[in-house]
């Protein structure tokens, strides 16, 4: 299933994308797509609903983050061998873990706002993993059984905040609008091999990132298992699993986002998102 949340910010309704690519309303079946929806049992029950019986949604409504009530937004750094190489860094021996502020979550096509004082805002298309079952000290062999599904994430990063203002990455990762997620959540059963997915990102129509989850240093199963040794992963938690090469900081000369840019990013089978870049303005 391809699950979505659509409508105005804060007023989203649950929906799904049918086999013909049409949006169907799920609000008569469940209140929202949240932690209670994401267990294997709940998803199996939802899959039995006759899609053709669901109301069609007219027009082209805004899509929100496809999961409501996200508790943790976890990032993994330098997780593609070719991205580590472009950064001039050795491949990590253990996953690099950081947190993105929940307040940075953004709809997949909502505008990105450059933070006040930004000089080096960068892009990072990433595979997002959504936890479906509470995970604590899980094995690598069992780890994918705790995943509800997958989605596209753009891990926007302000490099001067991240790397030039102290050792903690979080300052450059959690700025408002820096976490577009979606357009939809694709359930685990529809992704036969999560380590064979192509990713891409364009800026103003020019391809900047082209990669595959095949080049991950740590697989999705390894990441879920690893994180569960240090924190309990709860249903609805989102993990951004790292980015392939082609980020602005790795280009020669470096290229960072500016007002008026347009981003387009996607992952095979998981959909595509697009954002306009705006400048920060005092309210």
Q: Which domains does the chain have, with CATH numbers?
A: 2-53 (no CATH), 73-279 (3.90.850.10)
How much is the pLDDT for 96? 95
The pLDDT of residue 86 is: 80
- pLDDT for the residue 220: 98
Alpha-carbon dihedral angle through residues 245, 189, 129, 43, given to the nearest 10 degrees: 160
Q: Where are the alpha helices (DSSP H) in the chain?
A: 40-47, 81-86, 159-163, 220-228
List the one residue out of 9, 181, 13 whose CA is nearest residue 102.
181
Question: In whole angstroms, what is the distance from residue 250 CA to residue 154 CA?
Answer: 17
Q: Please, are residues 64 and 107 in contact by the beta-carbon 8 Å criterion?
A: yes
- Report pLDDT for 88: 79
pLDDT of residue 231: 98
Tell me, what's the pLDDT at 283?
73
pLDDT at 165: 79
Tokens 């039995």 found at: 48
Specify the length of the chain in residues. Answer: 283
CB atoms within 10 A of CB 65: 26
Among residues 40, 34, 31, the alpha carbon closest in space to that of 133 is found at 40
Listed as ranges, residues in the chain with pLDDT below 70 are none
- Widest distance between CA atoms in the chain: 55
**pLDDT, tens digit, 9 for 90 and up, residues 142-183:** 999 999 999 999 999 999 998 777 777 888 999 999 999 999
Please give the pLDDT value at position 30. 96
**pTM of this prediction?**
0.96
CA dist 232 and 224 (Å) reads 10
Q: Which residues contact 174 (CB under 8 A, 6 or more apart)?
A: 99, 100, 101, 103, 104
């Amino acid at each position: 299933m391809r699950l979505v949340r659509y409508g105005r910010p804060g007023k989203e309704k649950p929906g799904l994308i049918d086999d013909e690519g049409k949006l169907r309303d799920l609000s008569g079946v469940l209140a929202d797509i949240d932690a209670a929806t994401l267990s294997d049992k709940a998803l199996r029950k939802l899959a039995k609903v006759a899609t053709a019986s669901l109301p069609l949604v007219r027009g082209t409504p805004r899509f929100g983050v496809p999961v409501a009530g996200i508790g943790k937004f976890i990032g993994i750094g330098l997780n593609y061998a070719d991205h580590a190489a472009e950064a001039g860094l050795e491949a990590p021996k253990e996953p690099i873990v950081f947190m993105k502020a929940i307040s940075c979550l953004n709809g997949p096509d909502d505008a990105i706002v450059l933070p006040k004082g930004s000089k080096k805002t960068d892009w990072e298309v990433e595979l997002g993993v959504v936890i479906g079952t509470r995970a604590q000290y899980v094995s690598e062999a069992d780890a994918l059984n705790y995943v509800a599904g997958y989605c596209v994430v753009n891990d926007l990063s302000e490099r001067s905040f991240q790397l030039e203002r102290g050792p903690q990455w979080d300052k450059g990762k959690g700025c408002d609008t820096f976490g577009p997620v979606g357009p939809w959540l694709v359930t685990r059963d529809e992704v036969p091999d999560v380590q064979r997915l192509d990713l891409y990102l364009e800026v103003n129509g020019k391809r900047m990132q082209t990669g595959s989850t095949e080049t991950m240093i740590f697989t999705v199963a390894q990441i879920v298992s690893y994180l569960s040794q240090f924190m309990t992963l709860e249903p609805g938690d989102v993990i951004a699993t790292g980015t392939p090469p082609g980020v602005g900081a790795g280009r020669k000369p470096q290229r960072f986002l500016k007002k008026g840019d347009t981003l387009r990013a996607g992952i095979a089978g998981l959909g595509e998102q697009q954002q306009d870049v705006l400048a920060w303005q005092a309210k």
